[in-house]
A = this chain, B = another copy of it.
Amino acid sequence: MALIVQKYGGTSVGNTDRIKNVARRVAKSRAEGDQIVVVVSAMSGVTDGLIKLAKEITPLPSEREMDMLLATGEQQTIALTAVALHAAGVPAVSLTGAQAGIVTDGVHTKAKIQNITPDEVHRLLDAGNVVIVAGFQGQTEEGQITTLGRGGSDLTAIALAAALKADLCQIYTDVDGVYTADPRLVPSARKLPEISYDEMLELAGAGAKVMQLRSVEFAKKFDVIFEVRSSLNENPGTIVKEETKSMEDVVVRGVSIDKNQAKITVEGVPDQPGRAARIFKALSEAAINVDMIVQNVSHAGGVRVTDISFTVDKPDLLKASKVIEGLKPELAFTSVTTDESIGKLSIVGVGMRSHSGVAARMFETLAHEGVNIGMISTSEIKISVVIDLKDGDRAVKAVHEAFIG
């Protein structure tokens, strides 16, 4: 008897027919004799609808109250999923994040899981139930309701799998698995049977929308092997696990483009120690994630000045601009410019470690396509470039063709 954690995302539970479909799948797994824990997201559209209501009232609602509001989305899905399992003749009990023992810190809307006490989950499983846990949410030790931020339901599933010492963790979504590129952009893209945590991390960080960084990091840290697969068919998905020797044979595992970033350039910053640090500390204090950073030194009127460019998530752009503008008196820079029309193109593969010339080949491919490169950043197993948004899809295809075929 195995213990399996299955996570179903918003589209997989998007309406009551979909929820019944999930119940059928869970019932089938259970009929094979396994213990099943189901983690569900809010029905697609529900969270956005709630955010819209709050924004109708005020543009910047309190984060504590947003957690109170948004946690209801998953709570609705767990109840409906339990009802659907009952209708399928399967004993099932729903639990909120708090009831499932998920304790987080108090950073509302972006809380971190601190620990999980899965006693109640175990008790209900041992009594023969399927246990349905609300993803995306937890509770502080003081009893405040928190949410885990984007992709939080995946995190709930993986953290629960770790805490329960589950035999298997399945992340059901609306795609078949992890592809070498977005099949909507690149028709020749193919599904990967397996991928390493690090590659998955770099792809997630590079805008591949399958999973959020944090969930993969958590899985890597606690060695939770998980499978990304579709809730709409029986196809095997992609197994995400620790790197194996044979994985290095492939130079580029995947190509992705992130269209959700924006670029900010702070121009004419006097080139003195600590100025860049000041900028990124201020952004960090405002809880804004910065991705790529490029700095060039130049001379303006005989004074050494630098231009600092960086990218942030598009929704954070306004907030980030304001933070930077607020530093103007202190840092004495010339101006701040922003650009929302960018795409971040990335190639990822553990094989890069043992293969040389990968960057050159990527840049040549882009040059051949007439695509201009604005920023470059590299890691051990990833190369990312910022390009014009309008060149994005074309560039992905060309690079995929060059490395994967």
A contact set with B: CB distance below 8 Å:
16, 19-20, 50, 53-54, 56-58, 61-62, 64-66, 68-69, 71-73, 75-76, 78-80, 82-84, 86-87, 93-94, 96, 99, 143, 145
Contacts and interface: CB of A to CB of B under 8 A. Distances in A.
A86 B72 contact: no
B58 A82 contact: no
Given A68-B94, A71-B75, A83 B54 contact: yes
Contacts of A20: 57
Copies in the complex: 2
A86 B65 contact: yes
Interchain residue pairs A-B with the least CB separation, the first 5: A69-B79, A72-B72, A58-B87, A68-B79, A16-B56
A20 B93 CA distance: 37
A26 to B, nearest CB: 14
Given A62-B83, A66-B79, A76-B72, A57 B19 contact: yes
A75 B20 CA distance: 26
A69 B76 contact: yes
Contacts of A50: 76
Contact of A87 (B57, B69, B72): B57
Contact of A94 (B56, B65, B73, B99): B65
A366 to B, nearest CB: 46
B72 A75 contact: yes
Contacts of A76: 50, 53, 69, 72
Contacts of A86: 58, 61-62, 65
Contacts of A69: 75-76, 79-80, 83
A65 B79 contact: yes
Nearest to A16: B56
Contacts of A79: 54, 65-66, 68-69
Contacts of A75: 68-69, 71-72, 75
Contacts of A83: 54, 57-58, 61-62, 65-66, 69
